[in-house]
Structure 1
Amino acid sequence: MRVEIWSDIACPWCYVGKARFEKALAAFPHRDRVEVVHRSFELDPGRAKGDTQPVITMLTRKYGMSEAQARAGEENLGTQAAAEGLEYRTHGRDTGSTFDMHRLLHFAKAHGRQDELIQALYRANFAEERSVFDGDEHLVELAVSAGLDADAARAVLADPSAHADDVRADEREAAALGANGVPFFVLDRAFGVSGAQPAEVFTQALTQAWDARSPLRPVTGAVTGGADAEDAGACGPDGCAVPRH
């Protein structure tokens, strides 16, 4: 069975959702027969390379939040991340273009190191003091930490066309599937899960996808008595949902 995950390194709910999904997958009896593929989705595809700004500034300017609201949202996201055993810096993070990161992830996929790289990128963006947007050499260092060759990673970053078509193809496919926010999980092209749902919802989706084949349909927290899909953490063109609890 294949699970495809559309996500963006700049998306905090993708960071949290990956941990929740992996918790469900670890307990799934058929986990050794599940292939996980990470797909590209940019929350800000029009942002130019090198155009970075503080996360709080981006939230206030792009989504019309007050600075107090933006900071409260980051604090709440930090609490959600901590509940999954994740580190999350609520202050001092930057945001910028993730296109080159997605190109590197396709390069990593070709070498069987995609999951290792996306984890390294998430950790760098959400937990470490040095900005993940601090130039190509930092991305090369992260690629090496994921088990990739430094010169090969550097060559990918130096060629703007390398894997660019792969990134755009993923984004077109997300649109075709109706994904307007991330994280978005597609299980065996039979079930779709939107947002950073609780692990129990991912467990249900894995079980249903394993047992049956059907047209893609949403699996939400409402199935198991939890929150509706719109209450699950996700990031989209209108911003990242602030946790209610």
Structure 2
Amino acid sequence: MTKLRVDIWSDIACPWCYVGKARFDKAVQQLDGKVEVEVRHRSFELDPHREPGDVDAVVPMIAKKYGISPAQAQANEYKLGDLAKAEGLAYRTEGRDHGNTFDLHRLLHLASERGLEAEAWKAFYIANFADEASVFERERVIEVAVAAGLDKDEVVAVLDDPAAYREAVRADEAEAAALGATGVPFFVIDEKYGVSGAQPTELFAEILEKAWGEKKPALTTINGADDAEACGPDGCAIETPPQA
């Protein structure tokens, strides 16, 4: 039987995507041997209209966007840090940046073509949420991509060509819109179940098991003649031929 396909729409700038993917991964680990999963990462920009190079500090950006005080915005970051820590993730609660992620998504599509999708997503998540250096600086982007296994010349070529993988990113975003996804993370399991948000590990495991059970075809038993021969736990009954 083929693997259970899971499409995950995310953005590198989304802390709930970072936490949600960790919870999802734990569910997959819990079901190891029971459910086989194939993950496809899909692009979704939280701030698609932000100009490249327009980078803000996270806390004042959140305060302005949601109309809350800087203190409240910082408190939210501390809360997210605690949630990330609970999932075994590093999270820098102060001094992070926020910017346009379009180039990152284009590089993530390159990584997918090179068989390095999981490695690149993980590398960029860690670079954005855990590392000191801003992931919105060109040289840092190149450094992270190369560390994930991508060829430096290919990375630079993509960054220098605004059209490279542009349509792939836009296609992902258009599909998300068609599915009714207005936020991320957004998980689509076997093209049947949509799961929105960083749900608990237990819920992910429950849905994965359900989808896997439905994917496996049910066995229909057809009863024929009542005297059809069969073997059982005690062996095979053999009719004794009549004596000559």
Q: TM-score, normalised by structure 1?
A: 0.84
Runs of 4+ in 1 over 6 A off after TM superposition: none
Tell me which of 80, 85, 93 is aligned to 1:82: 85
Q: Deviations over 1:125-178 (max 9, x none)?
A: 00000010122x211111111111110111011100000000000001001111
Q: 3-state SS of the aligned residue for 1:160?
A: coil
1:230 is aligned to: none
Aligned match of 1:192:
194
Q: CA offset at residue 116 of structure 1?
A: 0.3
- C-alpha distance in structure 1 between counterparts of 2:102 and 2:203, whole Å: 30
Equivalent residue letter for 1:87: A
1:143 pairs with 135, 138, 145, which one? Answer: 145
The residue number in structure 1 matching 2:137 is 134
For 1:40-119, what aligned pairs fall within 5 Å after superposition?
Answer: 40-119=43-122
* Contact 1:25–1:31 (CA under 8 A) maintained in structure 2: no
What is the distance in 2 between the residues matched to 1:118 and 1:31?
25
- 1:32, distance to aligned residue in structure 2 (A): 7.3
Of the two, which has the highest radius of gyration? 2
Matched, 1:14 2:52: no
- Residue in 1 that maps onto 2:208: 206
Secondary structure at 1:212 match in 2: helix
One-letter amino acid of the structure 1 residue matched with residue 102 of structure 2? F
Gaps in structure 2 of 5+ consecutive residues: 216-244
Cα distance in 2 for partners of 1:118, 1:103 equals: 12
1:61 shift after superposition: 1.4
AA partner of residue 203 (structure 2)? V
Aligned partner of 2:38 among 35, 48, 53? 35
Deviation, structure 1 residue 33: 3.2
- 2:169 paired residue number: 167
Aligned residue pairs: how many? 212
Where structure 1 has 5 or more consecutive residues not aligned to the other structure, the ranges are 214-245
- Paired letter, 2:128: N
Superposition CA RMSD, Å: 1.1
Q: Which amino acid aligns with 2:201?
A: A
1:223-242 correspondence to structure 2 within 5 Å: none
Alignment partner of 2:185 out of 183, 186, 192? 183
> How far 1:31 sits from its partner (Å)?
6.9
Counterpart-to-counterpart distance in 1, 2:142 and 2:207: 36
- Go from structure 1 to structure 2 and tell me whether the alpha carbon gap of 1:26 and 1:140 turns closer, same or farther (over 3 Å shift): same
**2:119 is matched by which residue type in structure 1?**
E
Contact preservation (8 Å) 2:16, 2:197: yes
Q: TM-score, normalised by structure 2?
A: 0.85
